[in-house]
């Protein structure tokens, strides 16, 4: 597949390195900017809540705050199209937030090229970055162990395909005391799989948004505190859904407020 600068490799990266360097960049569609915009908005909107966990109060020590990314990629992206546009990936978005900064950014990736790039790009924040090399499903216990157990935490789950959205991995994170989720639910990929070969997947793979809601409920994610929002292309076809889940009604209110408008600034009609 051709991108703005070269050809997409099997691991999703462009075969050309970033301008002025040797580190790889991931090829993405223009739609990636939408989910990144909503992620930025939520990180920004929760800085006040997060700040309370960064300071001690009386005998209570600071709980900390973590950002968890199970599919980190190389950390930088090239948007496919005529014009070359390079953007930060989700790990760098989280690390770049200055107000009430995360005390831990925990990012996982199974691809050796991506892991090397992540370590290089996060070296300036190595004291608060944990890069976990390997399949996130087999490494989930290591990921959870790095999360501050009494902190305020956000998990961004953006799988490369629908089979990588696994409920046993998600529920390991859901068991953490305070964990908000922003999940890219690949609706389009699910639909293509169903139309092509009749949908069939392992029992631990999330089969639908209703299934995800049901599996999260025992952990305290209930009713409208699990929300889904369709992200559409210019023809209004659904590309994917962003699923938000929080155990705290305040999280639900914040997400509802920040998603009133699309990333373009227009009112969200859907």
Rounded CA separation 222/215 (Å):
10
Helix/strand/coil (H, E, C) string of the chain? CECCCCEECCCCEECCCCCCCCCCCEEECCCHHHHHHHHHHHHHHCHHHHHHCCCCECCECCCCEEEEECCCCCCEEEECCCCCEEEECHHHHHHCCCCCCCCEEEEEECCHHHHHHHHHHCHHHHHHEEEEECCCCCCHHHHHHCCCCCCEEEEEECCCCHHHCEHHHHHHHHCCCCEEEEEEECHHHHHHHHHHHCCCCCCCECCCHHHHHHHHHHHCCCHHHEEEEEEECCCCCEEEEEEEECCCHHHHHHHHHHCCECCCCCECCC
Mean pLDDT of the chain: 88
CA distance 113 to 131: 13
- pLDDT bucket at 80, cuts 50 / 70 / 90: confident
Q: pLDDT tens digits for 92-112? A: 999 999 999 999 999 999 999
Residue 234 lies in a domain: yes
- Please indicate, yes or no, if residue 263 is contained in any of the structural domains: no
pLDDT value of residue 267 = 56
Q: Is residue 215 part of a domain?
A: yes
Domain assignment of residue 179, given as a range: 30-258
**Is 8 among the domain residues?**
no
CATH value at residue 225: 3.40.50.150
Q: Is 268 a member of any domain?
A: no
Instruction: Please report whether residue 250 resides in a domain.
Output: yes
Q: Assign 199 a pLDDT band (cuts: 50, 70, 90).
A: very low
Among the listed ranges 8-17, 32-41, 183-192, which one has the minimum average pLDDT value? 183-192
- Looking at the 3D structure of the chain, how many domains does it have? 1
Tell me if 24 is assigned to some domain. Answer: no
Residue 14 lies in a domain: no
């Amino acid at each position: 597949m051709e991108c703005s600068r070269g050809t997409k490799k099997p691991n999703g990266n462009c075969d050309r390195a970033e301008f002025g360097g040797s580190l790889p960049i991931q090829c993405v569609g223009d739609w990636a900017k939408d989910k990144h915009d909503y992620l930025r908005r939520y990180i920004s909107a929760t800085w006040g809540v997060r700040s309370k966990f960064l300071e001690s109060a009386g005998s209570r020590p600071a709980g900390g705050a973590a950002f968890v990314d199970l599919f980190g990629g190389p950390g930088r992206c090239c948007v496919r199209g005529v014009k070359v546009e390079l953007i930060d990936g989700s790990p760098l978005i989280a690390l770049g937030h200055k107000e009430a900064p995360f005390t831990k950014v925990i990012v996982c990736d199974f691809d050796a090229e991506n892991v090397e790039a992540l370590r290089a790009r996060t070296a300036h924040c190595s004291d608060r970055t944990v890069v976990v090399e390997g399949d996130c499903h087999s490494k989930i216990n290591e990921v959870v162990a790095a999360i501050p157990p009494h902190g305020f935490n956000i998990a961004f789950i953006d799988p490369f395909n629908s089979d990588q959205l696994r409920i046993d991995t998600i529920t390991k994170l859901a068991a953490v005391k305070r964990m908000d989720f922003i999940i890219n639910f690949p609706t389009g990929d699910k639909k293509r799989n169903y139309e092509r070969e009749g949908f069939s997947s392992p029992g631990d793979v999330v089969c639908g948004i209703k299934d995800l809601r049901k599996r999260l409920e025992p952990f305290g994610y209930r009713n409208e505190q699990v929300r889904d929002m369709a992200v559409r292309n210019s023809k209004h076809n659904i590309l994917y859904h962003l699923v938000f889940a929080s155990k705290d009604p305040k999280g639900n209110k914040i997400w509802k407020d920040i998603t009133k408008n699309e990333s373009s600034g227009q009112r969200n009609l859907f």
